[in-house]
Structure 1
Amino acid sequence: MTDRRGRARTDVRRAPQKQVRDRAALDALLDCALVAHLAVVETSAEGAVQPYVVPVGMARDGDRLLVHGSTASRAFRALAAGAPTCATVTILDGVVVARSQFESSMNYRSAMVLGRCTELVGEDKERALAVLSEHLLPGLTEQRTPTRKESAATSVLALPLEEWSLKVSAKGGPEDDPADLDRQTWAGIVPLHHTWGEPVDAPDLAAPYPVPAQIADWPQGRT
């Protein structure tokens, strides 16, 4: 889609040099992220407009983004009915510390997907739930699958990866004003690494079961 000036809605206008149009780069970001934020706009009977942004567990399934939530959620009901949405996924890779507050910034990868969701049903829904489970809880195939009641209480939506934008900031260092270069202060990059912590037993375990080996294999720094 384009605006009245003929520009694509997904064109990056602020710092356009950071836009990445490679679909493989988008897939790589989505495949290592665990959470997306979905926007939905509600209009009351009185005409008041209220936007909401909902964090949801997510997984990429080929050319679509899968999300799941409660069928009782107003936001999910609106999205299932075809309300337009914008999904965002952002991963922070580090903080760039400059000699001035103005030039300090962040290294990040951020995607935005525009479109309308489709609510999945039947075998497609069951398969999508399996994809979500494997992405969010990799290797834990011994978990009990959802009952019919649990499945009925869960809404699974698919957002096509057709209209999207990817912005990447990966500075080699701070871009200080030349007048600040002689300041006697440190400047550089502080990387941010995402890792798993030590698993903590549930207090109601019937016995001291060992932590599944699969959890130890969860990829460090996946995000």
Structure 2
Amino acid sequence: MPPVSAPSSRTRVRRLPDRAHYDADTVAAIVDAAMLCTVAFQIDGTVHAIPTIHWREGGHLYIHGAKASRMLKALTAGEACVTIALANGLVLARSAMHHSMNYRSVVIYGRFEPVTDPGYKLNSLRAFIEGFYPGRWDTLRPITNKELNATGLLRIALSEASAKIRAHGVKDDEEDLSWPVWAGVVPLHTVTGEPVAERDSVLQQVPKTRLG
């Protein structure tokens, strides 16, 4: 049975708690489906919220950046909050007050920890690239030791996280059901566009991506 209670008081969904999910599989699926997360943290008493690319391995969410990054330094020194949101559909009701959106979201609390072992870092960066572009890692110019050393890699456990999902149709007041206006859901999907190759690209064959 998936857990039905929040792992902590700050992850407990208070607004519309029937939409809450606390099981690891649901959280992981949303983390995997998204390409960007927003990381909130403090530096010298000022709050920052920075969007960044992420990936997941097991029970952790990973991010990377320049070793000298203020954000990476701050994330290992204090608490952070990571958020992810995916829009899945526009919900059009008969009343403006009942318009809504279908979505999947995750909120994660905790503290990031650095990953410093060179072998682990390299394997994790490989997982990052392969997650976006299956089969591409082995075709690329290998990462140098200098590049690897200059890259900071952080991870945060998904143990203190909650998901919130809306995945249904319109909820109109009964007295509005006969109102003469279209009501329903317009699905939203992310698709790839037409690839544009660099003029000096040695190969012209387009590689695979996670979107197809």
Equivalence for 2:3: none
**Matched ranges for 1:182-197 at <5 A:** 182-197=178-193
Equivalence for 2:94: 99
Shift of 1:211: 2.1
The 1:166–1:71 alpha-carbon spacing in structure 2 relative to 1, beyond 3 Å, is same
How many Å separate the matches in 1 of 2:210 and 2:121? 25
Equivalence for 2:38: 37
Q: Which ranges of 4 or more aligned residues in structure 1 deviate by more than 6 Å?
A: none
Equivalence for 1:165: 162
Whether the 8 Å CA contact 2:170–2:183 is kept in 1: the answer is: yes
Shift of 1:179: 2.8
Shift of 1:124: 1.9
Over the matched positions of the two proteins, sequence identity in percent amounts to 35
Whether the 8 Å CA contact 1:98–1:174 is kept in 2: the answer is: yes
Whether the 8 Å CA contact 1:107–1:169 is kept in 2: the answer is: yes
Whether the 8 Å CA contact 1:56–1:69 is kept in 2: the answer is: no
Shift of 1:201: 0.6
TM-score by length of 1: 0.85
Matched position secondary structure for 1:151: helix
How many Å separate the matches in 1 of 2:142 and 2:182? 53
Shift of 1:145: 2.7
| Aligned partner of 1:144 among 141, 145, 155 | 141
- Specify every segment of 5 or more residues in structure 1 that has no aligned partner in the other structure, as ranges: 1-6, 44-48
Whether the 8 Å CA contact 1:98–1:187 is kept in 2: the answer is: yes
Matched position secondary structure for 2:96: coil
Q: Report how many aligned residue pairs link the two structures.
A: 203
1:88 and 2:100 matched: no
| Aligned partner of 1:130 among 119, 126, 143 | 126
Matched position secondary structure for 1:189: strand
How many Å separate the matches in 1 of 2:164 and 2:210? 27
1:118 and 2:117 matched: no
How many Å separate the matches in 1 of 2:64 and 2:19? 30
Shift of 1:16: 0.2
Equivalence for 2:152: 155
TM-score by length of 2: 0.89
How many Å separate the matches in 1 of 2:133 and 2:36? 13
**Matched ranges for 1:60-79 at <5 A:** 60-79=56-75
Q: Is the deviation greater in 101-110 or in 143-152?
A: 143-152
Residue-by-residue CA offset, 1:110-151 (whole Å, 9 max, x unaligned): 011110011111222122111111112222121123222222
Q: Is the deviation greater in 94-103 or in 139-148?
A: 139-148
Equivalence for 1:46: none
Matched position secondary structure for 1:102: helix
How many Å separate the matches in 2 of 1:22 and 1:127? 27
Equivalence for 1:3: none
How many Å separate the matches in 1 of 2:141 and 2:96? 51
